[in-house]
Structure formats: C-alpha cells, structure tokens
A and B are shown apart, each in its own frame.
Chain A
C-alpha cells in the first residue's frame, strides 16, 4: 500500500466551503474544514492527517471516519480515494487502558 506522492503544496489560497463546519471525525470532533486545511498545509496521507489533527484517534479508532477522511483528502488532491495512502494498522487494534497494557505478561 505504499506509494510515492508528489510533494508539492497545493497552489493558491485555501477557499472555505459552505459545509466546512461539518464534523467528520465524531470522536475527536474534527471538521471537514480542518481536514481540508490540513491538506493545504501539506498533509497528504491518512497517517499525516491523523497525527496533525487526531482524526481517527478517538474511541472508535477511525472505524467510522477513516473512509470519509480518505475521500476528503482525495478530493482536495484530485485523486481517486484508493490513491490516498491509508493509516498504518498496528496493535492495539482496540482502545486499551495503560493499566491493562502494564499487566502484559504479568502472571495472574
């Protein structure tokens, strides 16, 4: 799934859209406008947008919004959604408390 992308900032000014206030990532309350702005700031992949805004880092771990975020990035860059590099999948696949993590390998 890795691909190289032309690293050139989008030329021209960021033009606000009427629906920029729309919340896309419900868990972290990230709006469409913030994601669009992030792309203008040079965030071209899902991982970058995630680290920049925390979109997809909430309770549902991007289960609901990752496709939506992917579509927005694609639209801004003029790509097909499948051409936008998706976030890395790594353990833990579900939210976990630090104290549970700390008990890894500790005998009952």
Chain B
C-alpha cells in the first residue's frame, strides 16, 4: 500500500487549491480525480469570474484552471486522473479504481473535494433525448465544441442557468425562454440582463409541465404557479424547443464523507446533506477535511479559498508551518472568504436578503428581479450612472450595477480612477465626474457582469455613440448596420457599427461602438446583427 502525507479527492478548484497550499509548505500530496481531465468544472467556465483581484476576478474560469494546474505541477503535486475513489476506510485508507484494478492508499490526512451533482426535476417526458442538465450543455459546448440544440428552454434562473444560457447564445443556439418557479430571478441581475437585452424572455413563477415529443423533445409546455407553487389553470404556454436545459440546483456529492463516518447534517442553506465541519474544514473524523461544493454549494472562488484554508490547517497540524504563520494565513483567507459571502446573494443571506433595497439604501430594481432587465426609469438613482448634468462633456461611463454582489474589478480597470467601489466589496460602484474619460474601454471589458457602457452624446448633432461589451463571433465589421436593442431586447431601430476594439488585455471581450440617435443613448444596450 502506498502512503502519502496528504490525499486529496477531487482535482477541482477546491482540491487543487488545497494541494497547492499544502505542497507549497513542503507536504507530499497526491490528488485523485475520476475524470479524464483535471479542473473539475473550471474548464467548462468560459465566462469571467466575479470577486476581487485576489479572488482572480475578471479571469475566465478555464484560465484559472490552467493556472492552478500549472502551479500544482510546479510544486510536485501528483495528479492521478481516471482514478475513482471507491471508499474511505478506517485509519485514512482509501481504495481507488485505477487502470482496471483496485489500489489502496493511505495518508495522514484526507481532503474530500468531490464537488456536487446536478439536481433533477421529473416531469412527463423528462427522460426524452433533448432534456439535459446545464452541466451537460457546458460539456458539449465548451469541451467538445458541440451545439446542444437549436432552440433551447432554460429551466432555472440561478447563476448556473443564466451563465449557461449566455453560453448557449454564444454557441449560436436560440434561447426561447428562461423559466423559474420562484417569483424572482435567482442569480445575479447583471447575468440576467446580459440575456434579456438580446431578447430572451424571462417567465418567473413558471414551471415546466411536460416535454412534448415521441422519440425526442419537440416542445415544452410551461405554466404559471401561484405563491404556494400551485399551477394556475389556463396559464399554459407552449414553446417550440428541441432542447430543455435543466439548471435547478446542485447537491453536494457527500457519499465519500459518509463512508468516512463523518457526522452529517441536512442543511438547506448548503444545498443538502453535508458533513459538519469546523472552521478549517475538518469533519468529525479527525484528519479528514471537506472543502468546496461537497461542504456546501457555493461559487468556485469560495471553493478555492476553502481549499487553501484546509491546506494551511493540515500543514500547521503536521508541523510544516508555524502557528504564527498559520494564524496570519488563516486570517487572510478567512477575510477573503467572508468578502465573497457578503451581499444579497451571499451564503448566509440567500433567503433572508432584503429584496427592496441595497445595503446602501438604493431601491432595488423590481423589474430586474422579475423580468431580467432594469426599466429605463429605474436606473437613474444608482451611483454608477453618470449624472445627466455632466453628460455634455463628451464620453462618459454608465455602470448599470444595481445589486450588492462581491465584485470590484471595475475600480482597477480605470487607470484614471473614475470608478470607485468604496468600503465593502459588495457596494455599488460610483463614478467620479471630475475624471475625464478617455474611452479606452477597459472598464467595459473588465466588468464580469458586462454592465458597463460608454456613451458619448456629443458624437454628431442628433447622434450619440454607445460602446457595449460584445462576445459573439463573428465580430461585426465597422460600417455594418444592425438593430439597436434596449435592455428588454426590444428593437429601437437601426444602428451603425463605428468600431470594434479587441486586444489581448481585453481577453476576448470586444468593445463594440455603435452610432444611434441621441435619444437612444441611455436605452440602446445591445447590437443585433441583421
């Protein structure tokens, strides 16, 4: 039987981060993963992450995965792929199915970082080909370059549903609707707004009744539900779709923790059955830790920090770092983790959050929560909206960020200091009217929520330019015409592309500047190619 100082199960963001932390302190570490590729879900994540610089914000998920993997390799971490851990036994022994046989390993410490699996919702027709999980849609598109379908219904408006919905649009699918049984959009408003402005309708308080079709999905019947989740008669709608994508939540994959006899709890805030852990991630089985989604459903950014905390705690326990060093690191990581858990979507507040006001007291857009976009008359009061009296100066930024989410890359993006997120990382960004905007576009591309636009109402008499973040290929040519769409995806009329900026620093997000009649300057937020 082979022995290691530390065995980690799962090579996703949590497991790799734990491995890196422990190996950087000198520990001998092996990571097992049942998949053919490491990185967990990171390599399917082609969108830019939220958070701050230390959380690797504004980097795309798959690049974060590449970096973690390189770091782990450089530190000598062994990553064993296609290795399914079958069970955890007494004295921290594990059995692994590897290379057609069962192998046994033992370690002084074990970190369980097995992640989560998708929840499913059964309805008549749910076993038809064409009903897929959001994770499967991402695997098809982002790992194998396949379109899951032509016309898609997304069931679930959490961040997974919204992010995958946007990726479906990028892949060239038509997203017929996003539905959710809850009355409010579950994910970040900015993610919803990215879909809504392309014309995707949101049906909140709607559930799927059945999938239509004999041998594959031909359509979906949806219907409205009342406040006690009961179907409302006569509300049925039929959508012609060939794919129904399910994003109705994740549940922790906690089987291995149970084989290790960890004490478990059913915690709805954490997504289901999880092991009870102390603040370092250690379960009730001494020396066995659980981090990442398996310890409670959260974002990849939080999973990485939890991994580091466990890695540091194990290193300290085994004498690889001093108590003083451990205390310093723990405090740093813990602060960073707490930042990510702040705000209306935070770990603690998910269900008790105020849906009327931001923490600063601004009115939350109810339209954003129920329809996925802000009404023009709602945006006025947010601190990122450039005040009307200063707009005649030339180009100005418009930051349509209206919810407390832990994210601040915008403030570093503007080298001139026009944008500030003061105080907590979840506070809304504000614009400084004394700073002259050079229209470099870096704020536009740095916002992971794609909520920053540059407007110039002095372009030409009667015309304004609106610069928008744009991530659809092929990029339109300057001079080409198309439709300017407002936040709801409704066409305002014709717009002309003035320029399309793209550079390495922009990381695949182009800045498309379109010319529109000046009265649309605060409405036009998407360009649709003819």
In angstroms, Cα B97 to Cα A96, docked, is 8
In angstroms, Cα B122 to Cα A19, docked, is 10
Indicate whether A24 reaches chain B with its CB closer than 8 angstroms: yes
For A64, what are the chain B residues with a Cβ–Cβ distance below 8 Å?
A: 117, 120
Q: What's the nearest-Cβ distance from chain B to residue A105, in Å?
A: 8
For B273, what are the chain A residues with a Cβ–Cβ distance below 8 Å?
A: 86
For A22, what are the chain B residues with a Cβ–Cβ distance below 8 Å?
A: 122-124, 126
For B95, what are the chain A residues with a Cβ–Cβ distance below 8 Å?
A: 91-92, 104
Q: Given A63-B117, A90-B87, does the pair A106, B101 have CB atoms closer than 8 Å?
A: yes
For A67, what are the chain B residues with a Cβ–Cβ distance below 8 Å?
A: 119, 251, 272
Indicate whether B500 reaches chain A with its CB closer than 8 angstroms: no
B87 touching A23, Cβ below 8 Å: no
Number of B interface residues at 8 Å Cβ cutoff, please give it: 31
For B258, what are the chain A residues with a Cβ–Cβ distance below 8 Å?
A: 88-89
Quick one: closest A residue to B267, CB to CB?
A82
A93 touching B87, Cβ below 8 Å: yes
Q: Given A22-B122, A100-B97, does the pair A92, B127 have CB atoms closer than 8 Å?
A: no
In angstroms, Cα B291 to Cα A50, docked, is 29
Q: Given A63-B117, A82-B266, does the pair A92, B97 have CB atoms closer than 8 Å?
A: yes
B255 touching A100, Cβ below 8 Å: no
Q: What's the nearest-Cβ distance from chain B to residue A87, in Å?
A: 9
Most buried by A among B97, B123, B256: B97
For A23, what are the chain B residues with a Cβ–Cβ distance below 8 Å?
A: 122, 126-127
For B117, what are the chain A residues with a Cβ–Cβ distance below 8 Å?
A: 63-64
Indicate whether A68 reaches chain B with its CB closer than 8 angstroms: yes
Quick one: closest B residue to A81, CB to CB?
B266
Contact of B89 among A32, A91, A101, A105 (CB under 8 A): A91
Indicate whether A1 reaches chain B with its CB closer than 8 angstroms: yes
B120 touching A89, Cβ below 8 Å: no
Indicate whether A94 reaches chain B with its CB closer than 8 angstroms: yes
Q: What's the nearest-Cβ distance from chain B to residue A33, in Å?
A: 13
How many interface contacts (CB-CB < 8 Å) are there between A and B? 75
In angstroms, Cα B87 to Cα A61, docked, is 14
Render A54-74 as a binary contact track against B, CB cut-off 8 A, 1 for contact: 000000010111011000000
In angstroms, Cα B518 to Cα A62, docked, is 58
Quick one: closest A residue to B103, CB to CB?
A104
Q: What's the nearest-Cβ distance from chain B to residue A69, in Å?
A: 10
B86 touching A96, Cβ below 8 Å: yes
Q: What's the nearest-Cβ distance from chain A to residue B114, in Å?
A: 9
Contact of A26 among B85, B127, B256 (CB under 8 A): B127
Indicate whether A103 reaches chain B with its CB closer than 8 angstroms: yes
Indicate whether B264 reaches chain A with its CB closer than 8 angstroms: yes
Quick one: closest B residue to A107, CB to CB?
B101
Quick one: closest A residue to B114, CB to CB?
A93
Q: Given A103-B101, A106-B101, does the pair A68, B122 have CB atoms closer than 8 Å?
A: yes
Contact of A100 among B100, B123, B127, B259 (CB under 8 A): B100
For B272, what are the chain A residues with a Cβ–Cβ distance below 8 Å?
A: 67
Most buried by B among A67, A88, A89, A90: A89
In angstroms, Cα B96 to Cα A94, docked, is 10
Interface residue ranges of B44-100 to A (CB < 8 Å): 84-87, 89, 95, 97, 100
In angstroms, Cα B121 to Cα A26, docked, is 12
For A26, what are the chain B residues with a Cβ–Cβ distance below 8 Å?
A: 127
Most buried by B among A65, A82, A91: A91
Render B238-270 as a binary contact track against A, CB cut-off 8 A, 1 for contact: 000000000000010111101100001010000
A100 touching B87, Cβ below 8 Å: no
Interface residue ranges of B110-158 to A (CB < 8 Å): 117, 119-120, 122-124, 126-127
A93 touching B100, Cβ below 8 Å: no
In the complex, 12 of the A-B residue pairs with CB atoms within 8 angstroms, ordered by the A residue number, are A21-B124, A22-B123, A64-B117, A86-B273, A90-B259, A92-B86, A93-B84, A93-B86, A93-B87, A94-B84, A100-B100, A105-B104
Give me 10 other A-B pairs in contact (C-beta within 8 A), A1-B264, A104-B95 excluded.
Answer: A23-B122, A32-B122, A64-B120, A88-B258, A94-B97, A96-B84, A96-B102, A103-B100, A104-B101, A104-B102
